[in-house]
Chains A and B, each alone.
Chain A
Amino acid sequence: MSAARLSARGLACSRGLARLFRDVSFEVGAGEWLALRGANGSGKTTLLRCVAGLTRVDAGEVFWDGESTRADSGAFRANLLYAGHLPGIKDDLSAEENLQGSLALRGVAVSTKAIEGALAEVGLAKRRRLPARRLSAGQRRRIGLARLALDPAAFWALDEPLTALDDEGQRLFGRLLERHLAAGGLALMATHHDLAPAPARVMRIGE
């Protein structure tokens, strides 16, 4: 069984008149994570979106296990968990329903028990039936953490995953990341925080 690997070669992207980055290449192997740093507006979010396949690149390509993700997005999609600035949480649905829905959307079948367990792990056991509009920003973020715990995707593309999380939430995220990497997962994250499992490499863009 070969280990999962993500690589990018010569990515370039411009927004309107501004060129955000060019010739960005990197590689992430199983069990490592790559930290993406750069000033505000330097294109970290855009790079993550380019890698995920939301934003078109002007040049370059992303490879999942050596195969171009543009040519064959199926295998990549099945292994990609992307979380951007927007949490993708519906106010009218409960934490439980939101979690269930986002996992079903990823084609992951999970038992109700597992969902309850994950919500308990992130500290939402008592609030899992409340509509999400009655949760605080940090609690909504924790629904996202429960999703990280349950989704078997091998590759995480996360944009500032620690936003709005308290100290305990940040430690919880660290534990989830550790577990993910130990199981052979990999991640690309834009973050300014120093995390407990240290990044394999730090990539700076926009310089």
Chain B
Amino acid sequence: MNVAAAPMGASPHPGSFAAGFAWSFSRDLKLSVRHPGETMLVIAFFVLVASLFPLGVGAEPQLLQRIGPGVIWVCALLAAFLSLPGMFASDYADGSLEQMTLSPLPMPGWASGKIAAHWVATGLPLTVLSPLLGLQYGLTADTLLALACALAIGTPVLSLLGAACTALALGARGGGMLLALLALPLFVPVLVFGAGAAEAQASGLSAAPHLSILGAGLILAVMGLPPAVCAAVRIAMD
């Protein structure tokens, strides 16, 4: 046995997925609690941009009600996008990512933990705040609920897709603009179905079909994207 042969008794930790997930999830959450500025900026951006729209297009209640769900979704999407570089960049810059890559803990575990922590620090506050912004736009209670549900399902997909893109762009020239070019086209389906759910509810239809499709997309993303994120991190380490 290899491990038994180790002279100093390195424990034969096979390292489970859950251990890796727990490690990075708790660490990243602790970091964002210590340094809440980033989450605050994301929220401030979200609220600010959503409040700019009425100033630009006029404050007619019907118009605002019609464009409300779409505007709030676009703002949430942009806010989530702006928070992406924080997911891997600082770990890449200070060498933590090297240590994680070489850890005996499985990479999909800690990569998923990082993505989940990113969502808790950005996607979740955006979801919780969205009904408040919806009130600014005069949306009905049903629509607010549909909007929040759609954001709750859709923003994790954004975090997963964004993780893959930001890991691909680690160490690249061009920074933010490059990331926009990579990530925003891939966000299109999430936007379509997410805003579609709230709009369907607003126009008297059921939001359920949209939410089901978003849910299916989330399952697909949860299954398919962590391996892509791992591959991207390995490429970045090379």
Residue ranges of A at the interface with B (Cβ–Cβ < 8 Å)? 1-4, 30, 52-56, 64-65, 67, 72, 74-80, 82, 84-93, 97, 101-102, 104-109, 131, 152-154, 180, 183-185
| Interface pair A88/B94, CB less than 8 Å apart | yes
Given known A154-B6, A154-B8, contact A56–B103 (CB-CB < 8 A): no
Residue numbers in A under 8 Å from B206 (CB-CB): none
Residue numbers in B under 8 Å from A92 (CB-CB): 31, 34-35
Beyond contacts A65-B2, A65-B5: 16 other A-B pairs, Cβ-Cβ < 8 A, are: A30-B7, A77-B104, A78-B6, A79-B3, A79-B10, A88-B94, A88-B95, A88-B99, A89-B96, A105-B100, A107-B19, A107-B105, A108-B11, A153-B10, A180-B8, A185-B8
| Interface pair B94/A64, CB less than 8 Å apart | no
Query: Which one of A53, A78, A90, A93 contacts B13 once the chains associate, using CB atoms below 8 Å?
Result: A78
Chain A CB within 8 A of B44 CB = no
Q: How far is the CA of A90 from the CA of B96 in the complex (A)?
A: 8
Residue numbers in A under 8 Å from B93 (CB-CB): 86
Given known A65-B2, A79-B10, A86-B94, contact A105–B34 (CB-CB < 8 A): no
Q: How far is the CA of A30 from the CA of B8 in the complex (A)?
A: 10
| Interface pair B105/A105, CB less than 8 Å apart | yes
Minimum distance in angstroms from B111 CB to a CB of chain A: 13
Number of interface residues of B (CB under 8 A): 36
Within 8 A of A (CB), among B1-52: 2-15, 19, 23, 27, 30-31, 34-35
Residue ranges of B at the interface with A (Cβ–Cβ < 8 Å)? 2-15, 19, 23, 27, 30-31, 34-35, 93-96, 98-105, 110, 237-238
Residue of A nearest to B7 (CB): A184
Residue numbers in A under 8 Å from B8 (CB-CB): 152-154, 180, 183-185
| Interface pair A82/B237, CB less than 8 Å apart | no
Given known A78-B104, A93-B34, contact A4–B5 (CB-CB < 8 A): yes
Residue of B nearest to A80 (CB): B102
Q: How far is the CA of A75 from the CA of B7 in the complex (A)?
A: 13
| Interface pair B102/A77, CB less than 8 Å apart | yes
- 7 nearest CB pairs, A to B: A86-B95, A184-B7, A107-B13, A75-B2, A88-B95, A92-B34, A77-B104
Residue numbers in A under 8 Å from B110 (CB-CB): 105
| Interface pair B7/A154, CB less than 8 Å apart | yes
Residue of A nearest to B99 (CB): A88
Minimum distance in angstroms from A1 CB to a CB of chain B: 6
| Interface pair A3/B2, CB less than 8 Å apart | no
| Interface pair A185/B101, CB less than 8 Å apart | no
The residue among A53, A154, A183 with the most chain B CB atoms within 10 A of its own CB is A154
| Interface pair B31/A105, CB less than 8 Å apart | no
| Interface pair B101/A107, CB less than 8 Å apart | no
> What are 12 A-to-B residue pairs whose CB atoms are below 8 Å?
A1-B5, A3-B7, A54-B238, A65-B5, A74-B104, A78-B104, A82-B98, A104-B23, A107-B103, A108-B13, A152-B6, A180-B8
Residue numbers in A under 8 Å from B13 (CB-CB): 78, 107-108
Minimum distance in angstroms from A23 CB to a CB of chain B: 21
Minimum distance in angstroms from A198 CB to a CB of chain B: 20
Residue numbers in B under 8 Å from A78 (CB-CB): 3, 6, 10-13, 104
| Interface pair A105/B7, CB less than 8 Å apart | no
